[in-house]
Amino acid sequence: MGNKKDTLIFLDEIQAYPQMLTLLKFLNQDNKFTYIASGSLLGVTLKKTTSIPIGSVHIKHMFPLDFEEFLLANDFNDFAINKIRENFLAKESLDSALHEKILNLFKKYLLIGGLPDAVNSFINDSNIFNVRKIHNDIKDFYLSDASKYENDNNKKLKIRRIYEMIPSNLENKKKRVVFQNIENTKGKKFSAYQDEFEYLISAGISLDVNAISNPVFPLSQSVGKNLLKLYLNDVGLLTSILYQTNAQAVLKDDTGINLGSVYESAIAQELFSHGHKLFYYDNRSKGEVDFLIDDYEDLTSVPIKVKSGKDYTIHSALNNFVSNKNYHIKKAFVVSNERIVKQVNKIIYIPIYYIMFF
């Protein structure tokens, strides 16, 4: 007979049986075996259930591979990554050869993303057609899951509509959700779709970035729900929708293609997987800053500007933001394809792949 040390019982798709969550408390008290419960929509179930056995379960959130994990999957070892981390911490640039190698892998990451099946497919045969088939299947699974676990047909349609609008929203200048476009009905606000947004976010298939107008630490105290951006949970899914099997759109830096939404999606994915709550700065007269994160060391906020083109030193909104004495900003980052690390006053310019160390 097995015991706790050598027997693991895995309960998959446990959200289909919410009563099993209560049972976990008694299984834990019984202490005979080790249990893992998982589910693709477990986040939604945990939000809805009132019988979570607090203290009896340890919750672990799973994410697509971040860029560091993508490097490990592509034969970078811990030693090499730690050396790159040292460069980041010392605010030093990588040499040209290593920069080009990692930047090339970052661009491939934009195409492949971090979903394990897609990464494995890319490693096995580097065939973009096979990777895109996996992306399309996963996107369909996400939408069918909504149909499975939402009883209200009207809600299902709105969830699908909001999810399918994300890529086109990100291609707009403001990138935020326009609530009245969801059902083409004027006057609609966030509150009209709160359950649908909650579903997409709790399910882990969308990342929410909330607007902040008063960016003081801690940022969560200044959230305004009327302005919201949604990103897909995986950048590979976004490039699949935008460019299908045309890999050159991302790999070749075509000047005719604006990759801003793609680069921002990768940064959102990276920051979120590292435990950061996501915010952005929106001010009608002073402009917008792509991301804000809390800095618990300095008890202030850190603005991050994402630049996908050659004009990475042009950022008037960030300049205004950093110079505002009321915000007490100590440092800001501009991430781009540029190799050279440099600091100009409070603004630090870094290559985009350094975001893996935030």
pLDDT tens for the chain, 358 residues: list them.
577 888 999 988 887 777 777 788 888 888 889 888 887 666 666 666 656 666 777 888 889 999 999 999 999 999 999 999 999 999 999 999 999 999 999 999 999 999 999 999 999 999 999 999 999 999 998 888 766 656 677 888 899 999 999 999 998 888 889 999 999 888 888 889 988 998 899 888 999 999 998 898 999 888 876 789 999 999 999 999 999 999 998 998 766 678 999 999 999 999 999 999 999 998 877 888 999 999 999 899 999 999 988 888 889 999 999 999 989 999 999 999 999 999 999 999 999 999 999 9
Question: Are 30 and 170 in the same domain?
Answer: no
Q: Is residue 59 part of a domain?
A: no
Q: Which is it for the CA torsion 46, 278, 145, 134, positive or negative?
A: negative
Question: Are 177 and 255 in the same domain?
Answer: yes
Supply the DSSP string of 9-75, one letter for each residue.
Answer: EEETTGGG-THHHHHHHHHHHH-SSEEEE--TTHHHHHHH-S---TTT-------S--HHHHHHHTT
Question: Are 285 and 325 in the same domain?
Answer: yes
Structure tokens at 158: 């709105």
Question: Are 94 and 177 in the same domain?
Answer: yes
Question: Are 12 and 125 in the same domain?
Answer: no
Element (H, E) at 225: strand 223-232
Q: Is residue 29 part of a domain?
A: yes
Question: Are 23 and 104 in the same domain?
Answer: no
Q: Is residue 110 part of a domain?
A: yes
Task: Tell me the pairing of strands 287-295 and 300-306.
Answer: antiparallel
Determine the pLDDT at residue 147: 63
Q: Is residue 60 part of a domain?
A: no
Between the alpha carbon of residue 159 and those of residues 39, 146, 148, 206, 249, the distances in Å are: 19, 7, 12, 11, 29
Question: Are 42 and 127 in the same domain?
Answer: no
Question: Are 344 and 200 in the same domain?
Answer: yes
Question: Are 144 and 20 in the same domain?
Answer: no
Q: Is residue 219 part of a domain?
A: yes
Give burial (CB, 10 Å; 0-12/13-18/19+) of 278: buried
Determine the pLDDT at residue 19: 77
Please count the helices (runs of H) and the strands (runs of E) in the chain: 13, 10
Cα–Cα dist 191/302, whole Å: 29
Q: Is residue 55 part of a domain?
A: no
C-alpha triplet 315, 335, 218: angle, nearest 5°: 80
Structure tokens at 293: 């994160």
Structure tokens at 256: 């005719």
Q: Is residue 61 part of a domain?
A: no
Question: Are 201 and 322 in the same domain?
Answer: yes
Q: Is residue 2 part of a domain?
A: no
Determine the pLDDT at residue 225: 63
Structurally, the chain folds into a number of domains equal to 2
Question: Are 142 and 182 in the same domain?
Answer: yes
Determine the pLDDT at residue 277: 93
Q: Whole domain around residue 25: which residue ranges? A: 8-48
